[in-house]
Structure 1
């Protein structure tokens, strides 16, 4: 049904039905392989087709209860629901729970979290079938940490920790004195740094968040060179030896690159909606917090770009890119 609703050709539907006709599976462990047993529910484990089939099924059975973004966002088996009041969200969660249960799916109450944003946050939470959802001030969604205050510092610490975990898996190369500097530089730029930069294009970065990434990077680079602060070697000399551009410049590059993509998009995409979204209410008293568009305006002024330049892909890419000096080594 779900395949036909999405306009999948009937021939493909028949082939997929053949794949799921009387499927069996086995369990492999240290003791050996079990006897085949029938699989009566779910999709094939390890199949490249399974994620697509699951997405199509969930979209088909919930299409009539899905609200337009940003009130409802779907990504694989992750569902984000938003509402202006707790009562509305209570009804939405209960409706989704009943709809999924009708088609053999189950809402995992233990993994479902609830967060409330605003100037005045009242006590209480959402209840689903007598079970209270866990109320949090920060939760992880698609690898990024979302806070009720909009602060990106927890996400910055999370990115730094993830980068350190990846760095530790490559210490056999990065901390080996016999390895050439060029190889260490390339491993850091292609394996470690992308982990730290994941999702940073959406940050409204402050001095504190920038300092977190800067400190993380310089410690990694110094240890890769076998140096400490006692050696009195400047950061510029360390970067020059490894041919690595400052990670803060790479954050600016990612932010401008993403901003250009959003400006060029047509229609009502999620990114376009978020860019033009108007939040009700007034900003609190005191020094206003840095907004994402404030960071973008500062970045555009530094590289001399305007919103009109977004349609010129070559100019936009050339202006916002920050090349690593080591890229010239890689071409030799």
Structure 2
């Protein structure tokens, strides 16, 4: 795809469309089950900027900030937002089903906790994205609708 994304004879809009159609789906494969920490989010955003700089032929030696590059291309960083939306949609399907996946996702199963720092769960990532209290309200609403 390098020859298409860096071709100056193809318009920037067409190159962006090619990026969205061919590269982003591969990059986001299986993202519904990811736990996105701040470090992973930074890597995703860096990859997004790397593709954009390559498409616009901006060398690394040019002292342009990411915000300036985004303004030049009339684009935002949608990748993390799209991943979070997919995770929220997947969570809705899991919560409505109410079986083993629901128990594992919400962490409502019996047993001992493992030693050391606990791993970040999908619910933790969605809680930071939605804001405090919104995920628990959403879960309660989904549970009530599943019961009735």
* TM-score interval (norm. to shorter): 0.7 to 0.9
Residue aligning to 1:194 = 25
After superposing on structure 2, the runs of 4+ consecutive aligned residues of structure 1 that deviate more than 6 Å are none
Q: 1:280 aligns with which of 111, 117, 125?
A: 111
Task: List per-residue Cα deviations over 1:126-155 (Å, max 9, x = no partner).
Answer: xxxxxxxxxxxxxxxxxxxxxxxxxxxxxx
Paired residues of 2:6 and 2:57 also in contact (CA < 8 A)? yes
C-alpha displacement of 1:172: 2.3
Matched, 1:257 2:89: yes
Counterpart secondary structure, 1:229: coil
Between the aligned partners of 2:121 and 2:98, the Cα distance in structure 1 is 24
C-alpha displacement of 1:222: 0.5
Task: List per-residue Cα deviations over 1:185-213 (Å, max 9, x = no partner).
Answer: 11111211111111112111112222222
User: How many residues are paired up?
Assistant: 138
Counterpart secondary structure, 2:131: helix
Query: What do you get for the CA RMSD once the two structures are aligned?
Result: 2.6
Higher helix fraction (1 or 2): 2
Counterpart secondary structure, 1:204: coil
Task: List per-residue Cα deviations over 1:7-44 (Å, max 9, x = no partner).
Answer: xxxxxxxxxxxxxxxxxxxxxxxxxxxxxxxxxxxxxx
Please list, as runs of the form range in 1=range in 2, the aligned pairs for 1:9-88 lying within 5 A after superposition.
Answer: none
**Which stretches in structure 2 are left out of the alignment for 5+ residues?**
144-148
Q: 1:231 aligns with which of 62, 70, 77?
A: 62
Q: 1:301 aligns with which of 128, 131, 145?
A: 131
TM-score normalised by L of structure 1: 0.37
Between the aligned partners of 2:59 and 2:110, the Cα distance in structure 1 is 47
Please list, as runs of the form range in 1=range in 2, the aligned pairs for 1:179-190 lying within 5 A after superposition.
Answer: 179-190=10-21
Higher relative contact order (CA 8 A, sep 6+): 2
Mark the structure with the bigger radius of gyration: 1
C-alpha displacement of 1:273: 4.7
CA 1:199–1:238 in 2, change beyond 3 Å: closer, same or farther? same
Counterpart secondary structure, 1:230: coil
Paired residues of 1:200 and 1:251 also in contact (CA < 8 A)? yes
Between the aligned partners of 2:76 and 2:87, the Cα distance in structure 1 is 19
Residue aligning to 2:77 = 245
Paired residues of 1:173 and 1:184 also in contact (CA < 8 A)? yes
Task: List per-residue Cα deviations over 1:278-308 (Å, max 9, x = no partner).
Answer: 26212423x4332221112112218x66415
Matched, 1:173 2:42: no
C-alpha displacement of 1:238: 2.4
Paired residues of 2:49 and 2:66 also in contact (CA < 8 A)? yes
Matched, 1:207 2:38: yes
C-alpha displacement of 1:173: 1.7
**Which stretches in structure 1 are left out of the alignment for 5+ residues?**
1-169, 312-332
Higher strand fraction (1 or 2): 1
